[in-house]
A = this chain, B = another copy of it.
Amino acid sequence: MPPTAPKPCPFCYGNEQKTPPEVLAYRPGGGANQPGWSVRVIPNKFPALGIEGELNRQGEGMYDKMNGIGAHEVIIESPDHTLTMAGMSDRQVEEVLWAYRDRVNDLKKDIRFRYIVLFKNHGEGAGATLEHPHSQLLALPVVPKRVKEEIDGAKVYFDFKERCVYCDIVRQETSSGVRVVTETDRLLVIQPWAPRFPFETWIVPKRHESHFENTEDATLQNLAWVLRSTLRKIDKVLEHPPYNLIVHTAPVQENHMAHYHWHMELSPRLTKIAGFESGTGFYINPTPPEESAKFLRESGLA
């Protein structure tokens, strides 16, 4: 459902004092923590991890523990409370992506941070607790399990083939076309092979690059259009579903990787993750990707 009338909200103009002081804002003029910004990044008021201190790894009997060191930031995507990313201008989405890139490039200077995850929960069904359009960033002192699995898997493929698995996916999907939603000079939007969820969508840059934060300006500009176009199609075909958007990228302290390729994964939340899925890591998906790709291609939207 699209958001309805705005309520008092810490992310709206005039309420800048209700949030921790901003760490980044795009603002043509005026002072910090004042209205006038187009995108604003703030530390999360209720952070999952704290920025100060040491990891202090230790045992407790057979168990291990450490402090939760890291950064947890909120990217406020627009001053307009009722706007969704699908409804923003291309320029506005581009500024959000700049904020993603700028924050990663700043935070990676702190070498305690080994991985930075960028994601967006849209809608209550996708875990969003605030309506105002926003993304989140967590800088972590470890490379997460799932990220490691994905990168290790890509490495096994690379060692076997001497080619990047995502570059191969781009080639095969471009050539067959059946799972393609949109193709531009720089990016490919697909419904991936063996998707976990109905309408699971990947946005993959055509040119090999392991780190999102190294994306060139022209690709970021194109990504803004592609992302918004994809969200508009999904909104139309699925009637404004909740969704999760996750940037899959290489660990920030690692050099360029020939075997890994950053991309975005967008999952509308149409089905529930239940006992079978959490017990096995397998997903039952009634919608073939060729079908969902066709629905999105034929949405009548650019």
Number of copies: 2
A62-B168 contact given A272-B127, A280-B140, CB 8 Å threshold: yes
Interface hits, A259-299 → B, CB 8 Å: 265, 267, 272-276, 278-282, 284
Verify A281–B146 contact, CB threshold 8 A.
yes
Mask, A125-162, CB within 8 Å of B = 1, is 11110000000101010001111010000000000000
- CA A212 to CA B237, docked complex, whole Å: 45
Q: Which residue of B lies closest to A48 (CB)?
A: B284
Whether a CB of chain B sits under 8 angstroms from the CB of A176 is yes
- CA A136 to CA B279, docked complex, whole Å: 12
- CA A248 to CA B278, docked complex, whole Å: 11
Q: Which residue of B lies closest to A244 (CB)?
A: B275
A63-B276 contact given A145-B281, A281-B144, A281-B146, CB 8 Å threshold: no
Among B65, B117, B275, B280, which residue has its beta carbon within 8 angstroms of that of A280?
A: B117
CB distance from A14 to the nearest CB of B (A): 28
Among B62, B267, B282, which residue has its beta carbon within 8 angstroms of that of A145?
A: B282
Whether a CB of chain B sits under 8 angstroms from the CB of A194 is yes
Top 10 nearest A-B pairs by Cβ distance? A127-B274, A119-B275, A144-B280, A146-B281, A127-B272, A145-B281, A246-B279, A244-B275, A121-B274, A63-B193
14 A-B residue pairings within 8 Å (CB atoms):
A60-B193, A63-B172, A117-B276, A117-B280, A119-B276, A126-B275, A128-B274, A136-B276, A140-B280, A144-B280, A144-B281, A144-B282, A146-B278, A146-B281
* Additional A-B contact list (14), CB under 8 Å, known A127-B273, A140-B280: A60-B193, A62-B168, A63-B172, A63-B194, A117-B280, A119-B274, A119-B275, A125-B272, A126-B275, A127-B275, A136-B275, A138-B280, A146-B279, A246-B275
